[in-house]
Amino acid sequence: MTKITFIGAGSLGFTSELVRDILTFPLLEDAHIALMDIHPERLEWAKRQVEKLIAAGKRPATVSATLDRAEALKGADVVLTTILAGSTEVWRHDIEIPKKYGVDINVGDTRGPSGIFRFLRTINPMMDIVRDMEKYYPNAVLLNYTNPMAMLVSAIQKQSFITVTGLCHSVQGTAMMLARWIGAPYEEIDYVCAGINHQAWYLEYKWNGQDAYPLIRKAVTERPEVYNEEIVRNEMFLALGYYVTESSGHNSEYNWWFRKRPDLIEKYCTHGTGWNPGEYAYILKEYQRNEATWKDQVRERLEAPLTPEDLQRGEEYAAYIINALKGGEPFKFNGNVRNTHLITNLPEGACVEVPVYVDRAGFHPTHVGALPPECALLTQLSSGIEEMAVQASIAGDPTMVYRAICHDPLTASVLSLAEIRQMTNELFAVHKDYLPQFKVHRV
């Protein structure tokens, strides 16, 4: 029997979808699913939904729910983390304080001042989880879904021996989107994608062995509905020649080009038709709406009957990885791992996103070599900033946090160094109770 532990199981939709996928594998259908969350009511709802999935699929799996993290981790083979450090009343400051200074944020969960302070808060509970894993079951594998992915995974890799990789759906999601644009069945697509989380690049994208980039360029330039679906990413593709992972809303924050002036935000960021439009604080507003209505949403989910389609396996990596680790079919995915000369022109030891093979012997990352220079310059900067933030957290050095934010492209395109210092100090002041690694909360 495989024990799979979910920390942050109250993320109901995500937890139930991952459990659904896990139970579709014969090797895992008798798994024990251990759910843990700090929110009792959300935890109970999650348990009921998992019980519903087990019953509907007539699986021999079992489920337990606990508020005790140590209890959930004991004997675990695999641990999945989907946590959120602080409510919207806490992390709203990540978005609202930069906006006051003129830095307009759409998502704010990955990089820039918002992503950095989200990391500084989140690494503390993440390391508590990791220390418990070291204590109770050090051979367990950690699969992290929590953002900011690269900074969290890098910090864990630098401070623990626990095997960890970070998972994100943006690589396969974007690959499917591109296949749809060119009319290709997804099963006929092959690609090589590498970089860092939310800023990896399709170095190759082929349909039945043939380069499909000319077809992608034709779709973007000749079909307005395709261009308008991902305006920011399509502009980046037309300029740089390679397509980037993660949505236009996210990527509009990661560079100098789209959010530094209101007219640019209006032109590029607010009228796209794809997921995650570029409006200010989009994800924060979504969370706030969900907080107000989550009980009604849960009741609807629990009361709705499950159809055979509801029990079909999805495309998230985690279930395939767990199956491979337990001796099932080996699996290739894009994972977040330590850069051991895998991408030669990104910082050594940083967290990079590369093709990884997994089997019962563990993870086997693929050597990629150098990113094209037109992609590498932006990615090097983002990765270097993330590594500065990680080292700042480990050392408890607020000045290094400030220096990392100084180099953020969007922030630097809007603010002076003195303004960045003032903004950083304000962010430290409002979050100081969540940042015990810093003895001084001021630059």
Report in angstroms the alpha-carbon separations of 260 from 90, 203, 266, 350. 25, 28, 11, 28
CA angle 201, 279, 114 (to 5 degrees): 65
State the amino acid at position 408 in one-letter form: D
Identify the active-site residue in 32, 169, 407, 441: 169
CA distance 410 to 170: 22
Taking the C-alpha atoms of residue 56 and residue 48, their distance in angstroms, rounded to an integer, is 12
168 annotated as a binding-site residue? yes
CA–CA dist 228, 258 (Å, integer): 15
Question: Are 123 and 85 contacting, i.e. CB atoms less than 8 angstroms apart?
Answer: no
> CA triplet 380, 385, 391: central angle to 5 degrees?
125
Task: Tally the C-alpha atoms within 13 A of residue 186's C-alpha that lie toward its C-beta.
Answer: 10
CA distance 285 to 271: 17
169 belongs to the catalytic site: yes
Give the contacts of 80 (CB within 8 A, at least 6 positions apart). 4, 5, 6, 7, 18, 143, 144, 145, 318
- Judge whether 406 is annotated as a binding position: no
Binding site residue list for substrate:
147
Query: Where is the binding site, in residues?
Result: 147, 168, 198
Known binding residues for Mn(2+) are 168, 198
Active site residues: 169
